[in-house]
Amino acid sequence: MFFSSHARSVTILSRGETLEKSMSRYLIDQLATRPDIEVRFNTELVAAHGNTSLETVDVRDNTRGETTRLESGGVFIFIGADAETDWLPPEIALDPKGYVLTGSDVRAAGRWELDRDPYLLETSVAGILRDETNPVPG
């Protein structure tokens, strides 16, 4: 959804047959309303091409065994929604499931020390913000 507000079109490649296992119903319903977003199932990225920047990508439909070349100005790889935050220093506040706390949640957890309110995506360390292109909880 985020990328579609900045690009002419967005193509989502899913190695699975549906999005239900990896995405909330709310997001799936929103995707269905956007004509500029295409979802390709049973499909994976197999090559990227370009001279000084990305120009095209090859995607393989694993059901038919066919590979197609698509024009592309960028690639974002999302490899999962599990919180993999063990590497973060203890100064970055996490919720009980391991997701990074931001904004008002940081203050509510008692982990904000400045006089001003934290910014919407700001972590418990002032000036460090969470990347919202990955809209998983936390």
In angstroms, the CA 103 to CA 54 distance is: 34
Measured CA distances, 51 to 48, 68, 92, 129 (Å): 10, 19, 39, 32
Structure tokens of 47? 């090559």
> What is the structure's pLDDT at 138?
42
> What is the structure's pLDDT at 11?
93
Q: Say what the pTM is.
A: 0.57
Strands of 66-71's sheet in order across: 43-49, 56-61, 66-71
User: 3-state DSSP call for residue 2?
Assistant: coil
Which domains does the chain show, CATH number per domain? Answer: 3-71 (3.50.50.60), 83-138 (no CATH)
- Please, are residues 75 and 81 in contact by the beta-carbon 8 Å criterion? no
Residue carrying structure tokens 């904004």: 103
Distant-in-sequence, close-in-space partners of 116: CB < 8 Å, separation ≥ 6: none
Reported for 30-35, long-range contacts at CB under 8 A and 24+ positions apart, including other chains, are 30/1, 31/1, 34/1, 34/4
Q: pLDDT tens digits, the chain, 138 residues: what are they?
A: 777 888 889 999 999 998 887 777 878 888 889 999 999 999 999 999 988 889 999 999 999 999 999 999 888 877 666 778 888 889 999 988 888 898 999 999 999 999 999 998 889 998 888 765 544 444
